Amino acid sequence: MKRQRSRPDVVKALRSRIDRLFLGALVALLGLTNNAWAAATVETARFTVRDASGQLSEERARDLASEAEKTLAKILQFWSASPKIEEFGRIKLEFARPRKDTYSAVFYWAKEQGRKVRTLIVFGVNGEPQMLAHKLTHAIFPNTDKMIRNMMGIPMEIKFGNRLTFPMCGFDNNAWVLALQQLKSYIPLSELGPNHEQWGMSTKGDLPIVVDPARQHAAYAESGSFGMYLLSVHGGEKVKRFNRLSRGGKARPWVEVFGLPLKQLEARWLNTLEAGTTTKDVPLLSKLRSTDPATGCARAQEAA
């Protein structure tokens, strides 16, 4: 799959990817007024779509809206879930220009007339969106626990989204985990708490920023792979129940839902990876991370 980046400064761009996305574009986009949204390019059954890039033709806007509808339909079918239109209204979907050639997406809750509104900004309009399936899953299964969001969202990106998306970066997510183990950079899942700080991130004002890109990528790769394992072994209904029981800042109910504590689930997952993952890409991914852990994903996308 061809990458959607072309400029030679892509490696440097990734190093501060989230910083630019959140502190630049997102601050401005969070200030959208109702009048701006009233000028939406397209309205579908589940989305109100707006072009913030100034680059979309009406045909392209409709194509992107159609793709978003198809992606969401697959997610809803997979989870046997409702789009929650009656509860929250349509999802506001904004297409913006990529920042420094970085394709990504951001989900957040806006508030209009006292009502919470689901809002998704997709950065990049010319190529295939990245992180769209991941972030749409957040809109359907909101949770304040970052690990649970990623355990549910990243598998949807793997199944229904763009293979180039972070943290896969063009390769098998499981192979990244094996590379982390090989480099002794693996992070025990018990260290991945519900907040940004345990994920190589922090906040500036109310916005998340990346302070440790290498840790962020490792944490995302691990949580996505672990989420895929739980889905394959325990099924979507149990994962949905896990999400439901943990909402509101409650402790993660590993034993109650899956029958084992996290440490044992983690051991079984890693054993499954070692036994069943194709390892041909592991040496390359290990080399990319060992050369510069902070930019391994960007260089993997170049190689994919």
Output the pLDDT for position 147: 97
Tokens of 143: 């949770």
Asked whether residue 205 carries a pLDDT value surpassing 70, the answer given is: no
Alpha carbons 148 and 30: distance in angstroms, whole number? 25
Tokens of 62: 């409709």
Q: pTM, whole model, 2 decimals? A: 0.86
Three-state DSSP at 106 gives: strand
Out of 26-30, 95-99, 150-154, 168-172, pick the least confident: 26-30
Output the pLDDT for position 237: 98
Q: What is the pLDDT of residues 241-284, one digit of tens each?
A: 999 999 988 899 999 999 999 999 999 999 999 998 888 999 99
**DSSP string of 33-102?**
-HHHHHT-SEE-SSEEEEE-SS---HHHHHHHHHHHHHHHHHHHHHHT----HHHH-SEEEEEEPPBTTB
Three-state DSSP at 115 gives: strand
Contacts of 26 (CB under 8 A, 6+ apart): 106, 108, 121, 207
Asked whether residue 225 carries a pLDDT value surpassing 60, the answer given is: yes
Q: How confident is the model at residue 8 (pLDDT cuts 50, 70, 90)?
A: very low
Nearest 10 degrees: Cα torsion 238, 154, 88, 244: 20
Asked whether residue 176 carries a pLDDT value surpassing 70, the answer given is: yes
Q: Give yes or no for a contact between 95 and 51, defined as CB atoms under 8 angstroms apart.
A: yes
Q: What is the pLDDT of residues 71-90, one digit of tens each?
A: 999 999 999 999 999 999 99
Q: How confident is the model at residue 13 (pLDDT cuts 50, 70, 90)?
A: very low
Q: How confident is the model at residue 35 (pLDDT cuts 50, 70, 90)?
A: very low
Across 105-121, b (16+ Cβ under 10 Å) vs e yields bbbbeeeeeeeebbbbb
- Per CATH, which fold does 10-303 belong to? Neutral Protease; domain 2 (1.10.390)
Output the pLDDT for position 14: 44
Output the pLDDT for position 98: 86
Asked whether residue 233 carries a pLDDT value surpassing 50, the answer given is: yes
Asked whether residue 289 carries a pLDDT value surpassing 60, the answer given is: yes
Higher pLDDT pick, 41 / 150: 150
Alpha carbons 64 and 10: distance in angstroms, whole number? 25
Asked whether residue 2 carries a pLDDT value surpassing 50, the answer given is: no
Asked whether residue 22 carries a pLDDT value surpassing 90, the answer given is: no
Alpha carbons 278 and 268: distance in angstroms, whole number? 17
Output the pLDDT for position 285: 97
Q: What is the mean pLDDT of the chain?
A: 87
% of the chain exceeding 70 in pLDDT: 85
Q: What is the pLDDT of residues 94-141, one digit of tens each?
A: 999 987 778 889 899 988 888 899 999 999 988 899 999 999 999 999
| Beta-carbon-side half-sphere exposure of residue 218 (alpha carbons within 13 Å) | 27
**How many of the other CB atoms lie within 10 Å of CB of 134?**
29
φ, ψ dihedrals at 187, nearest 5°: -105, 120
Output the pLDDT for position 101: 76
Amino acid at 287: K
Q: Which residue pairs from 81-84 have beta carbons closer than 8 angstroms and sit at least 24 positions apart in sequence? A: 81/140, 81/141, 81/240, 82/140, 83/46, 83/140, 84/140
Asked whether residue 12 carries a pLDDT value surpassing 90, the answer given is: no
